[in-house]
Amino acid sequence: MTAPNAHDPESLARLAAGVATRAGELIVRMRDRGVTVAASKSSAIDVVTEADRAAERRIVDELLAARPEDGVLGEEGAGVAGTSGITWGIDPIDGTTNYLYDIPAFAVSIAATVPGDAYADRRRAVAAAVCNPRTGELFEAWEGGGARLGGTRLRFAGRAELGALLVGTGFGYTEERRREQAEAAARLIPHVRDIRRIGSAALDLCNLAAGRLDAYYERGLQPWDYAAGALIATEAGAAIIGRDEATPPGEPYLFAGDAAVVDELRSVVLGG
């Protein structure tokens, strides 16, 4: 049976943190033995490794052992319908291309979500953990409890001037999507301090929370890409918006940064 504190966000975050840390240790061990590409997804260069699949299995097994009534939605295909109201969004390796090349910017991302977002078809993240196992950094947050890095509270200190922003973004894997994203970056770059393309949406949002980026945007994110990182960023104090007031953050767009400048960032990226 699900524990009495079934919907206690802090307990959910602690569980996510432990599971993410252990999954991170697994993918590092597997990476150190060499990478095996198991399949491709949206294009030939959008790969899935055996470590993605092994880590997702490990995460699902641990979460359901602790909370058997919960649901699960994983990037690599894990899908379990739960009865508790909690569904875990899992990205076992966010930044798989970085993992493939052993660039130390990949992460395990886990978020606990519940119904009740402002948008009827979306769920709301209430607890999250993002672990970068190469650096040993563990980000975590729970609804109303703030965001933390290694136990230290994060407070987003955003910049309100577009020209002063260091902006993170990412690119998809299809030719058409990359062309659109390149055009958006070309519109933006004359107006900001600079752009960074780190290769992990989860870490971009965590880096925003930690003050390593001033803003972030991306097109084409799926819930498992951003759910954990977005909660960490918002609990640190960042504002997150979608393409317009009627569209939730995620697909087609997510914009994050200081509330005083994020609308302007969106306008430039979209060519408004």
pLDDT tens for 143-152 read 999 999 999 9
From 100-104, 133-137, 172-176, 232-236, the region with the lowest mean pLDDT:
172-176
Q: Which helix (H) or strand (E) holds 193?
A: none
From 48-62, 206-220, 224-238, the region with the lowest mean pLDDT:
48-62
Tell me, what's the pLDDT at 256? 98
Q: Is there a binding annotation on residue 117?
A: no
Strand partners, 111: 89, 128
Q: Is there a binding annotation on residue 91?
A: yes
Tell me, what's the pLDDT at 120? 43
Give start-end residues of each CATH 3.30.540.10 domain in the chain.
Answer: 9-154
* pTM across the whole model: 0.92
Full DSSP string of 139-150: EEEETTTEEEET
Question: 9-154 belongs to which homologous superfamily?
Answer: Fructose-1,6-Bisphosphatase, subunit A, domain 1 (3.30.540.10)
Give start-end residues of each CATH 3.40.190.80 domain in the chain.
Answer: 162-270
Query: 162-270 has which fold?
Result: D-Maltodextrin-Binding Protein; domain 2 (3.40.190)
* Closest listed residue to residue 200, CA positions, set 173, 226, 236: 226
Q: Is there a binding annotation on residue 93?
A: yes
Higher-confidence residue: 157 or 75?
Answer: 157
Q: Is there a binding annotation on residue 75?
A: yes
